[in-house]
């Protein structure tokens, strides 16, 4: 295998992880579809502690996260839909833990792609370290 895998075309496979369910929309929050903060915590993930993906996008139809190793091989992926929206610090966001029990220590690259009908996709590429 050589090169990077492009994330274009149809949606990724069904989610391997689940995010917190968003029960009721709070008032006064900005729902504008725009990319805010995107990160994992803790980073580095040490001692078997699973990192959590945190993505602020306003309200999206779907958020896709793909995790790659340094050889550009797909390691894991998850898809969060609009029903999995939550709020943190008065901001709309998506959060999902990543089960690292199946991966080795190392550096991983992950892509976040937020999708909303009628708007350009929001994308970002980040790094995450796992130290077992």
CA of 24: how far to CAs of 9, 85, 97, in Å?
32, 10, 22
* Residues 37-77 pLDDT 10s: 999 999 999 998 999 999 999 999 999 999 999 999 999 99
- pLDDT at position 38 is 96
CB atoms within 10 A of CB 64: 20
With a cut of 80, say whether residue 103 has pLDDT above it: yes
* Overall size of the chain counted in residues: 132
Using 50, 70 and 90 to split pLDDT, how confident is the model at 28? confident
> Which of 118, 73, 94, 109 lies closest to 15 in space, CA to CA?
94
With a cut of 60, say whether residue 20 has pLDDT above it: no
| pTM, to two decimals | 0.77
How many whole angstroms separate alpha carbon 91 and alpha carbon 10?
28
The pair of structure tokens assigned to 20 is: 């917190």
The percentage of residues in the chain with a pLDDT greater than 90, rounded to a whole number, is 65
With a cut of 60, say whether residue 90 has pLDDT above it: yes
């Amino acid at each position: 295998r050589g090169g990077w895998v492009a994330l274009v075309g149809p949606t990724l496979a069904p989610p391997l992880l689940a995010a917190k369910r968003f029960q009721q929309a709070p008032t006064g929050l900005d729902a504008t579809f725009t990319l805010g903060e995107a990160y994992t915590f803790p980073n580095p993930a040490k001692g078997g502690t699973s990192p959590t993906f945190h993505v602020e996008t306003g309200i999206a139809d779907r958020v896709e996260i793909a995790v790659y190793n340094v050889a550009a091989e797909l390691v894991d992926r998850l898809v969060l839909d609009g029903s999995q929206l939550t709020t943190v610090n008065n901001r709309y966001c998506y959060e999902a833990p990543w089960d690292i029990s199946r991966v080795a220590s190392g550096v991983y690259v992950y892509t976040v792609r937020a999708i909303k009908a009628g708007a350009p996709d929001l994308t970002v590429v980040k790094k995450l370290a796992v130290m077992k």
